[in-house]
Structure 1
Amino acid sequence: MSAPENGNAAGRRPGRPSGASDTRDRILDSARELFARNGFGNTSVRAVAADAGVDAALVHHYYGSKQQLFAAATQLPVDPMAVLGPMRETPVEQLGRVLPEVLLPLWDSQAGTAMIAALRSMLTGTEVPLARSFLRDIVVAELSRRVDEPAGTGVLRAEFAASQLMGIVVARYVIGLEPLASMPPEQIVAMIAPTLQRYLTGDLPEAPAR
């Protein structure tokens, strides 16, 4: 592998672009491969930079944060943490309603059309590991920390909530299942919010005795 491009040529600050036209694509290719292989949580910007043969500062220059790099690698038009992050201020007992209230208008927007296309590509193409990393390492990881009651149930709760939301994505936007596809967002929220809230904070069934 060639020496890392660190942009230290005369007149350039460290981490600035070296002028190589393929640098951005090389970074993105490395990010896709590492995110798919190791997941979001186990992939660092430094690791992506090393794999691409560039300085880590160059990755930040082109793509910003690791979340933004992931969004670019998966072709998501919106940084997922820009949506999920503000929900940290939402009381846990309101998450079942607020999640679809925020997500449905986003999915119905122009940016949402591109997001659905990216998710469809990940789910039906060769990038299923990226879809799994997106759900497990970003969506589930963000929610599970807040709903881990009793301790150890947060991931299961968050996965069931995510599965409900992904079901809406597939039925409403991918398949176009009527009347769900044409239903007003507020009506969908009213239908699924209680179920989402039950997944997140309701009593869990006891495992059957062996």
Structure 2
Amino acid sequence: MIKAQPVRARSGRRPGQPATREAILAAARSRFAEVGYDKASIRSIASGAGVDSALVHHYFGTKRNLFIAVARIPVNPETVLAALQGAPVDELGATIVRTVVGVWDSPAGAGLVAALRGVMAGGQESLIRSFLLDIALKNVGERVDDPPGSGRTRVALVASQMVGLLAARKILEVEPLASMPLDEVVDHIGPTLQRYLTGPLPRASKA
């Protein structure tokens, strides 16, 4: 009688168990912080976690979902992304303010502020930077890249304004901005963002 041989686990690979998810998150957090969202591949993250790439997809589906889990973002960014993608270019400034501040003011807003505090306190500022520039505003940057090469600068200016607005409205609670109605916030901040996005940019100073 032929005896059945025991199945050997592949060396260097973690089995599909609860600890695997945490190992993937840890590897992803390190990789995203090191090289940013665009350059971090699922394969490199899987290698860092000691698992197959298929397991990363099993637990998180896509790289974007994995990043959201790493950054502990408590809302689905697709809500924001869909609104921005559907807005005409000449209305992007107002749309960004209305959509993003609307999320901050929703029940999920407290979770977003907590996530931001946690990432900043943990020394992972690059995660927030990567989320803003490589996910949330990447499509916007491509749409307003006029003259060519200016898109990144434009969305960086928008990000600076929105981060400052978040701090003033939700963290420092500076009045009257903290309790200002959403429509009024849009009226004040929207035109500034629109100028960053589609207005003329000063020439870079010569060294």
Question: Structure 2 length normalisation: TM-score?
Answer: 0.88
Q: State the Cα distance separating 1:67 from its structure 2 match.
A: 0.7
Decide which of 89, 93, 115 is 1:92's aligned counterpart. Answer: 89
- Structure 1 runs not aligned, ≥5 long: 6-17
Q: Secondary structure at the match of 1:22?
A: helix
1:80 is matched with which residue? 77
Decide which of 198, 202, 205 is 1:205's aligned counterpart. Answer: 202
Deviations 1:57-107 (A, max 9, x none): 211111121111001001111243442244222211110111111111111
1:122 is matched with which residue? 119
Structure 1 pair 24/209, CA: closer, same or farther in 2 (3 Å)? closer
2:13 is matched with which residue? 4
Structure 1 pair 116/142, CA: closer, same or farther in 2 (3 Å)? farther
Cα pair 1:107 1:113 within 8 Å, conserved: yes
Q: State the Cα distance separating 1:188 from its structure 2 match.
A: 0.3
Structure 1: which 4+ aligned runs deviate by more than 3 Å? 207-210
2:34 is matched with which residue? 37
Structure 1 pair 57/19, CA: closer, same or farther in 2 (3 Å)? closer
1:142 is matched with which residue? 139
Cα pair 2:93 2:190 within 8 Å, conserved: yes
Coordinate RMSD, CA, aligned = 1.8
% same residue = 45
Deviations 1:158-204 (A, max 9, x none): 11011111111110111111111111111101110110000000111
Distance 1:2 1:196 in 2: 53
Structure 1 pair 32/149, CA: closer, same or farther in 2 (3 Å)? same
Cα pair 1:31 1:48 within 8 Å, conserved: yes
Question: Structure 1 length normalisation: TM-score?
Answer: 0.87
Q: State the Cα distance separating 1:19 from its structure 2 match.
A: 4.4
Q: Which amino acid aligns with 1:3?
A: G
Q: Secondary structure at the match of 1:165?
A: helix
Q: State the Cα distance separating 1:124 from its structure 2 match.
A: 3.7
Q: Which amino acid aligns with 2:13?
A: P
Q: Report 1 or 2 for greater relative contact order, CA contacts < 8 Å, sequence distance ≥ 6.
A: 2
Structure 1 pair 68/42, CA: closer, same or farther in 2 (3 Å)? same
Structure 1 pair 4/131, CA: closer, same or farther in 2 (3 Å)? same
Distance 2:31 2:78 in 1: 20
Q: Which amino acid aligns with 1:40?
A: Y
Distance 1:19 1:207 in 2: 52
Q: State the Cα distance separating 1:142 from its structure 2 match.
A: 2.8
Summarize the alignment of residues 117-196 of structure 1 with structure 2, pairs less than 5 Å apart.
Answer: 117-196=114-193
2:48 is matched with which residue? 51
Q: Which has the larger radius of gyration?
A: 2
- Structure 2 runs not aligned, ≥5 long: 1-9
Distance 1:135 1:87 in 2: 13
Cα pair 2:84 2:140 within 8 Å, conserved: no
Q: Which amino acid aligns with 1:46?
A: R
Distance 1:24 1:64 in 2: 12
Structure 1 pair 182/2, CA: closer, same or farther in 2 (3 Å)? farther
2:5 is matched with which residue? none
